Structure 1
């Protein structure tokens, strides 16, 4: 009798162990599928809370442990620089990169690290080091620029001082968009420069989410008829797909200057 009870217990234990093993294998398979289907990166524009929505740390290349700029580019930069989103110059497009290349690599690297126009600092991944940004920037401009003799970031500040001419915010934004800066209106705030630096250009230059294109008199007509005060409040509070303040940290005065600039383009 005791022998039968022992044999029955062992058989039950075997069934439980087999069931547990099968469940573990099924769970591992589901996790593997989810990992393969996970996105490689996210589009993050200036003004958005990029937070930790960033790519994983870059893997070392097989060529001696150097930072793999191509891997960083694929995970962080390609979302914009392969599609031209928010006016980003597409990798390998010589015409789009021509004016930028003339500024020198040190200036381009400074823009990559600190941000410019609709592009946030470090492409929206605050965890990337200066060295990783240098590797990614080299990879990005390699098709249109000779980067073989460019040194490391250890001398970046000195290189920027020597190579990059002093420019104001308006000139920087104009270089990023390929447009000529507008004449100074006499205001203490430059609406055109803020239009780019606060990230408004990302939607209003491309009609994203139904945003009225800058310079489109037909689209702006009914809005202008409402009066500027109404336009200001629409931006302050958000309207339709546009979040409050266009998801920027701009002050009331800066936002008003941007609205004034956009309205001026159709009047």
Structure 2
């Protein structure tokens, strides 16, 4: 087997063909849409602009390709980072966004076809991350309890199970999440993870209120998590995990 691949590689070099040329071609925007986007942007109960809906996409298209791609990549409103598929590259994600926009009347191109467009997307991504980081330190704690935040914000997904959200009180669904630990789970959810949008889709939510809501759901699901906003050491751990996760997502 080793000799076979050696001969194959040497043959490629002899004809001036790089080994990378043997790799599979990148997935098209349509294939990526089916893989990462159709669950929300296709037919279904999730409140996302539907594929081919010109009216629903008009406002997004007006924002511009760089902004919409970058904000979706980082996570915005009910949109989880990278469409909930962590192994997507920015280029692949951008192809899927461009494909959906074209179906709604835009003339957007695949980002990797334009160096200036890809550069603009990366600049918007950086700006979006910086804005979220700055806002995290300026949004004041309104003092709402975890239960109150759950009722106002989290219940929409965590009671109905939309997009696979673990239901409050479902010990089995929450068991692997509880094993991640309070600081890690709170930090990852705050920034957006799997199908979870950043801050539950509410940029005006303080970290303290968000953390109390996570603890409230965990307590109802078998965890012994405490209110982090009255535990300075736990809040420091959560903030440290947020910083660590931000660095991972920025790569």
TM-score by length of 2: 0.44
Q: Which has the higher helix share?
A: 2
Larger-gyration structure (1/2): 1
TM-score by length of 1: 0.41
